[in-house]
Amino acid sequence: MLKFDNVYFKYDEDNEPMIDGLSFEVDDGDFISVIGASGCGKSTVFRLINGLEKAQRGSISVDGKNIADIKNYSAYMPQKDLLFPWRTIEKNICMPMEIQKINKTEMHEKACEVLKEVGLYEYRDKYPKDLSGGMKQRASFARTLLSGADLMLLDEPFSALDSITRMGLQEWLLDEWQKHKKTVLFVTHDVEEAIFLSKKIFIITDRPVSHFEECKVPLSYPRNRDDMKRSDIGDMKAMLIKKLRQEAAV
Protein backbone atom coordinates (compact mmCIF):
# COMPACT_ATOMS: atom_id res chain seq x y z
CA MET A 1 0.00 0.00 0.00
CA LEU A 2 2.72 2.47 1.05
CA LYS A 3 6.45 2.17 0.44
CA PHE A 4 9.43 4.35 1.37
CA ASP A 5 12.57 3.42 -0.54
CA ASN A 6 15.84 4.93 0.76
CA VAL A 7 14.22 8.34 1.43
CA TYR A 8 16.41 11.32 2.38
CA PHE A 9 15.06 14.68 3.57
CA LYS A 10 16.64 17.77 5.14
CA TYR A 11 15.02 21.07 6.07
CA ASP A 12 16.86 24.03 4.54
CA GLU A 13 17.47 25.65 7.93
CA ASP A 14 18.99 22.50 9.48
CA ASN A 15 22.61 21.35 9.28
CA GLU A 16 21.73 17.67 9.53
CA PRO A 17 19.03 15.70 7.69
CA MET A 18 15.82 14.77 9.48
CA ILE A 19 15.51 11.54 7.48
CA ASP A 20 18.41 9.62 5.94
CA GLY A 21 17.94 6.37 4.03
CA LEU A 22 14.52 5.47 5.46
CA SER A 23 12.85 2.41 3.94
CA PHE A 24 9.67 0.72 5.13
CA GLU A 25 6.42 -0.77 3.83
CA VAL A 26 2.82 -0.65 5.03
CA ASP A 27 0.37 -3.34 3.90
CA ASP A 28 -3.15 -2.63 2.68
CA GLY A 29 -5.59 -2.48 5.62
CA ASP A 30 -2.91 -2.10 8.31
CA PHE A 31 -3.39 0.06 11.39
CA ILE A 32 0.08 1.26 12.37
CA SER A 33 1.00 3.69 15.12
CA VAL A 34 4.21 5.72 14.91
CA ILE A 35 5.76 6.71 18.23
CA GLY A 36 8.91 8.57 19.20
CA ALA A 37 10.20 11.47 21.25
CA SER A 38 9.09 15.01 20.41
CA GLY A 39 10.90 16.39 17.38
CA CYS A 40 12.08 12.98 16.20
CA GLY A 41 10.51 13.24 12.74
CA LYS A 42 7.05 11.67 13.05
CA SER A 43 5.21 14.62 11.55
CA THR A 44 7.89 15.02 8.87
CA VAL A 45 7.17 11.47 7.69
CA PHE A 46 3.49 12.42 7.39
CA ARG A 47 4.36 15.63 5.50
CA LEU A 48 6.42 13.59 3.05
CA ILE A 49 3.60 11.09 2.55
CA ASN A 50 0.95 13.71 1.84
CA GLY A 51 3.26 15.75 -0.38
CA LEU A 52 3.64 18.84 1.82
CA GLU A 53 7.39 18.17 1.72
CA LYS A 54 9.41 16.57 -1.09
CA ALA A 55 12.05 13.90 -0.55
CA GLN A 56 15.46 15.01 -1.86
CA ARG A 57 16.47 11.42 -2.57
CA GLY A 58 14.69 8.10 -2.71
CA SER A 59 11.06 7.42 -3.59
CA ILE A 60 7.65 7.19 -1.93
CA SER A 61 4.95 5.15 -3.61
CA VAL A 62 1.33 4.18 -2.96
CA ASP A 63 -0.08 1.09 -4.64
CA GLY A 64 3.12 0.87 -6.67
CA LYS A 65 2.83 4.41 -8.09
CA ASN A 66 5.13 7.29 -7.20
CA ILE A 67 3.14 9.85 -5.21
CA ALA A 68 4.40 12.61 -7.53
CA ASP A 69 2.32 11.05 -10.30
CA ILE A 70 -1.00 10.52 -8.45
CA LYS A 71 -3.65 12.57 -6.62
CA ASN A 72 -6.09 12.04 -3.75
CA TYR A 73 -4.19 8.99 -2.50
CA SER A 74 -4.12 10.02 1.19
CA ALA A 75 -6.23 11.94 3.69
CA TYR A 76 -4.83 13.85 6.66
CA MET A 77 -6.47 14.40 10.05
CA PRO A 78 -4.48 16.75 12.32
CA GLN A 79 -4.43 17.17 16.08
CA LYS A 80 -6.80 20.15 15.90
CA ASP A 81 -10.13 19.66 14.14
CA LEU A 82 -9.60 22.76 11.90
CA LEU A 83 -13.35 23.10 11.32
CA PHE A 84 -14.33 26.48 9.88
CA PRO A 85 -16.48 28.28 12.49
CA TRP A 86 -18.65 30.01 9.86
CA ARG A 87 -19.62 26.74 8.17
CA THR A 88 -22.21 24.27 9.40
CA ILE A 89 -21.02 20.78 10.25
CA GLU A 90 -22.40 19.43 6.98
CA LYS A 91 -20.71 22.19 4.98
CA ASN A 92 -17.44 21.57 6.84
CA ILE A 93 -17.31 17.87 6.05
CA CYS A 94 -18.26 18.51 2.40
CA MET A 95 -15.04 20.40 1.72
CA PRO A 96 -13.07 17.44 0.24
CA MET A 97 -15.96 16.76 -2.13
CA GLU A 98 -16.18 20.44 -3.11
CA ILE A 99 -12.50 20.31 -4.08
CA GLN A 100 -13.25 17.25 -6.20
CA LYS A 101 -16.17 19.15 -7.79
CA ILE A 102 -18.79 16.56 -6.85
CA ASN A 103 -22.32 17.79 -7.56
CA LYS A 104 -24.36 19.22 -4.69
CA THR A 105 -26.97 16.45 -4.60
CA GLU A 106 -24.36 13.71 -4.32
CA MET A 107 -22.41 15.75 -1.75
CA HIS A 108 -25.48 16.13 0.44
CA GLU A 109 -26.34 12.42 0.21
CA LYS A 110 -22.82 11.29 1.06
CA ALA A 111 -22.48 13.82 3.89
CA CYS A 112 -25.76 12.74 5.47
CA GLU A 113 -24.77 9.07 5.21
CA VAL A 114 -21.44 9.65 6.95
CA LEU A 115 -22.94 11.98 9.57
CA LYS A 116 -25.44 9.25 10.51
CA GLU A 117 -22.57 6.80 10.79
CA VAL A 118 -20.52 8.99 13.13
CA GLY A 119 -23.57 9.97 15.19
CA LEU A 120 -23.74 13.61 14.12
CA TYR A 121 -26.67 13.66 11.71
CA GLU A 122 -28.84 15.68 14.11
CA TYR A 123 -26.04 18.27 14.31
CA ARG A 124 -25.59 18.70 10.56
CA ASP A 125 -26.95 22.28 10.63
CA LYS A 126 -25.08 23.25 13.80
CA TYR A 127 -21.78 25.10 13.90
CA PRO A 128 -18.48 23.93 15.45
CA LYS A 129 -19.09 26.13 18.54
CA ASP A 130 -22.15 23.99 19.31
CA LEU A 131 -20.16 20.73 19.50
CA SER A 132 -18.03 19.19 22.25
CA GLY A 133 -14.36 18.37 21.64
CA GLY A 134 -15.11 14.73 20.96
CA MET A 135 -17.90 15.59 18.54
CA LYS A 136 -15.61 17.97 16.66
CA GLN A 137 -13.07 15.18 16.23
CA ARG A 138 -15.77 12.86 14.91
CA ALA A 139 -16.74 15.57 12.43
CA SER A 140 -13.09 15.93 11.45
CA PHE A 141 -12.88 12.17 10.91
CA ALA A 142 -16.04 12.25 8.80
CA ARG A 143 -14.45 14.94 6.62
CA THR A 144 -11.33 12.76 6.29
CA LEU A 145 -13.45 9.79 5.22
CA LEU A 146 -15.19 11.87 2.56
CA SER A 147 -11.87 12.57 0.85
CA GLY A 148 -12.29 9.10 -0.63
CA ALA A 149 -8.65 8.13 0.02
CA ASP A 150 -7.77 4.62 1.20
CA LEU A 151 -4.70 5.80 3.12
CA MET A 152 -5.47 7.84 6.25
CA LEU A 153 -2.85 9.81 8.19
CA LEU A 154 -4.04 10.62 11.72
CA ASP A 155 -1.66 12.95 13.58
CA GLU A 156 -2.39 12.80 17.34
CA PRO A 157 -6.11 13.41 16.76
CA PHE A 158 -7.15 12.71 20.37
CA SER A 159 -4.30 14.30 22.33
CA ALA A 160 -6.23 17.41 23.38
CA LEU A 161 -9.20 15.48 24.76
CA ASP A 162 -9.92 14.36 28.32
CA SER A 163 -9.16 10.72 29.12
CA ILE A 164 -12.75 9.43 29.13
CA THR A 165 -13.61 11.09 25.80
CA ARG A 166 -10.32 9.87 24.40
CA MET A 167 -10.97 6.24 25.34
CA GLY A 168 -14.44 6.39 23.82
CA LEU A 169 -13.07 7.79 20.57
CA GLN A 170 -10.33 5.15 20.43
CA GLU A 171 -12.99 2.42 20.56
CA TRP A 172 -15.12 4.29 18.04
CA LEU A 173 -12.15 4.70 15.68
CA LEU A 174 -11.44 0.96 15.73
CA ASP A 175 -15.05 0.26 14.78
CA GLU A 176 -14.83 2.76 11.91
CA TRP A 177 -11.52 1.33 10.70
CA GLN A 178 -12.88 -2.22 10.66
CA LYS A 179 -16.01 -1.01 8.85
CA HIS A 180 -14.26 0.96 6.11
CA LYS A 181 -11.14 -1.20 5.67
CA LYS A 182 -8.85 1.83 5.35
CA THR A 183 -5.08 1.79 5.84
CA VAL A 184 -4.22 3.95 8.85
CA LEU A 185 -0.98 5.54 10.06
CA PHE A 186 -1.52 7.04 13.49
CA VAL A 187 0.97 9.31 15.29
CA THR A 188 0.71 9.34 19.09
CA HIS A 189 2.80 10.02 22.18
CA ASP A 190 0.57 7.68 24.21
CA VAL A 191 2.02 4.16 24.36
CA GLU A 192 -1.19 2.59 25.68
CA GLU A 193 -3.18 4.23 22.88
CA ALA A 194 -0.72 2.86 20.31
CA ILE A 195 -1.03 -0.67 21.71
CA PHE A 196 -4.82 -0.59 21.97
CA LEU A 197 -5.32 0.59 18.40
CA SER A 198 -2.57 -0.93 16.31
CA LYS A 199 -1.64 -4.09 14.48
CA LYS A 200 1.97 -2.90 14.52
CA ILE A 201 3.91 -0.06 16.11
CA PHE A 202 6.78 1.74 14.40
CA ILE A 203 9.24 3.21 16.90
CA ILE A 204 11.62 6.02 15.97
CA THR A 205 14.78 5.64 18.02
CA ASP A 206 17.45 7.38 15.95
CA ARG A 207 18.13 10.83 14.53
CA PRO A 208 18.31 11.29 11.63
CA VAL A 209 15.60 8.71 11.05
CA SER A 210 17.13 5.84 9.10
CA HIS A 211 14.80 3.01 10.14
CA PHE A 212 11.79 2.12 12.28
CA GLU A 213 11.92 -0.51 14.99
CA GLU A 214 8.84 -2.61 14.43
CA CYS A 215 6.74 -4.13 17.21
CA LYS A 216 3.76 -6.39 16.44
CA VAL A 217 0.87 -6.12 18.91
CA PRO A 218 -0.20 -9.61 20.09
CA LEU A 219 -3.92 -8.79 20.18
CA SER A 220 -6.63 -9.73 17.71
CA TYR A 221 -9.65 -7.61 16.76
CA PRO A 222 -12.17 -6.70 18.10
CA ARG A 223 -10.48 -5.53 21.32
CA ASN A 224 -11.63 -4.34 24.71
CA ARG A 225 -10.04 -2.64 27.70
CA ASP A 226 -9.59 -5.92 29.57
CA ASP A 227 -7.06 -6.94 26.90
CA MET A 228 -4.78 -4.18 28.17
CA LYS A 229 -4.50 -5.99 31.54
CA ARG A 230 -2.69 -9.00 30.04
CA SER A 231 0.82 -9.54 31.35
CA ASP A 232 2.39 -9.61 27.89
CA ILE A 233 0.73 -6.29 27.07
CA GLY A 234 2.05 -4.85 30.32
CA ASP A 235 5.55 -6.03 29.35
CA MET A 236 5.20 -4.46 25.90
CA LYS A 237 4.06 -1.17 27.39
CA ALA A 238 7.05 -1.09 29.77
CA MET A 239 9.44 -1.89 26.92
CA LEU A 240 8.07 0.87 24.69
CA ILE A 241 8.15 3.46 27.48
CA LYS A 242 11.76 2.54 28.20
CA LYS A 243 12.70 3.03 24.55
CA LEU A 244 10.98 6.43 24.41
CA ARG A 245 12.71 7.57 27.60
CA GLN A 246 16.08 6.52 26.24
CA GLU A 247 15.43 8.43 23.03
CA ALA A 248 14.21 11.53 24.90
CA ALA A 249 17.41 11.52 26.97
CA VAL A 250 19.67 11.59 23.89
Q: What tens digit of pLDDT does each residue of 85-103 get?
A: 999 999 999 998 998 888 9
Q: What angle do CA 80, 224, 203 make, to 5 degrees?
A: 55
196-217: per-residue pLDDT in tens?
A: 999 999 999 888 999 999 999 9
- In the chain, the domains with their CATH numbers are 2-73+154-249 (3.40.50.300), 81-148 (no CATH)
Q: How confident is the model at residue 185 (pLDDT cuts 50, 70, 90)?
A: very high
pLDDT at 246 over 70: yes
Rounded Cα distance, 65 and 5, in Å: 12
Return the closest-CA partner of residue 192 out of 221, 160, 220, 159.
Answer: 159
Residue 37, helix vs strand vs coil: coil
59-69: per-residue pLDDT in tens?
A: 999 999 999 99
pLDDT at 147 over 90: no
Are 250 and 38 contacting, i.e. CB atoms less than 8 angstroms apart?
A: no
Are 228 and 195 contacting, i.e. CB atoms less than 8 angstroms apart?
A: yes
Q: How far apart are the first and last CA of the chain?
A: 33
97-139: per-residue pLDDT in tens?
A: 998 888 999 999 999 998 998 889 999 999 999 999 889 988 9
pLDDT at 248 over 70: no
State the pTM of this model. Answer: 0.87
Q: What is the DSSP letter of 29?
A: T
pLDDT of residue 165: 82
Q: How confident is the model at residue 250 (pLDDT cuts 50, 70, 90)?
A: low
